[in-house]
Amino acid sequence: MKEDNKNKIYKIAVVDDQKLFRQGIISLLEEFEELKVVIEAENGKELANAMKKNLPDVILLDLEMPVMDGIETTSYVRKKYPDVKIVILTMHDDDAFISHLIEKGANGFLVKDSNIEMVVDAIYSVVHTGFHFSDRVSKAMVKGLIKSQKIKPSFNMANLTKKEIEVLLLICKEHTNKEISEMLGVSTRTIDGHRDNILQKTKARNTAGIVMFAVKNGLLE
């Protein structure tokens, strides 16, 4: 856990139709003082009603639920609350599920056998970098996108400078702008400028798009 995050409280919503799993996650999250569960819901409709009164920073969202499932809920939240981060909890790392949910606006994925440390890491990752994909899920995601021809391997560096590529790779490793500035010995404003240039040159809309660009061009191992 990063030192400069200790005084920040993040509000969490846990949405899952399985009561035991939901309460188990909540119980484990309660051990972390900087995380506060403000919404507990068993489907997307309950979440939508609760969010009218209390907006979370991060939603831990199950996929398969009655009334309003994870896909419908992701679309709803992304349209109505674009700044709220969504981490999908699922038993499936199926390519089609993952690529479809990325398009809908999910910020991250965790399989349900993840330990609590992985869940907490995912929460911090989506808050500070905009995305979180575990190694297991990332491989499925990239495989699915290439197979569906949503991305095709190509080697077009978009006129990125050497420094922009260096920053891009650090972004892909989930470092924050502040961390990157400290690692490279420059100001955060400089890193902000590099990031803006990277987004413009690669035509990516967000961090996930930057990762996809890196994958397409063989920048990630």
Average confidence (pLDDT) per 10 residues, the chain, 221 residues: 61 96 94 95 96 96 90 93 92 66 82 88 86 62 54 63 92 86 94 92 79 75 57
- Residues pairing with 40 in the sheet: 14
Q: Cα–Cα distances in Å, from 113 out to 96, 118, 126, 191, 218?
A: 20, 10, 19, 36, 30
What confidence score (pLDDT) does residue 32 get? 94
Was domain 162-216 assigned CATH 1.10.645.10?
no
Provide the 3-class DSSP secondary structure of residue 162.
Answer: helix
What confidence score (pLDDT) does residue 159 get? 86
Give the start-to-end residue ranges of the domains of the chain: 3-147, 162-216
Give which of 89, 81, 200, 212 is closest to 154, Cα–Cα. 212
Conformation bin of residue 157: beta by default, left when phi > 0, alpha when psi is -120 to 50? alpha
Give which of 121, 116, 151 is closest to 134, Cα–Cα. 121
Q: Which of these CATH numbers, 3.40.50.10300, 3.40.50.2300, 1.10.760.10, 3.40.50.620, describes 3-147?
A: 3.40.50.2300
What confidence score (pLDDT) does residue 134 get? 61
What confidence score (pLDDT) does residue 171 get? 87
What confidence score (pLDDT) does residue 17 get? 94
Provide the 3-class DSSP secondary structure of residue 207.
Answer: helix
Cα dihedral across residues 152, 155, 161, 164: positive or negative: positive
What confidence score (pLDDT) does residue 139 get? 55
pTM above threshold 0.85: no
How far apart are the C-alpha atoms of 210 and 195, rounded to whole Å? 10
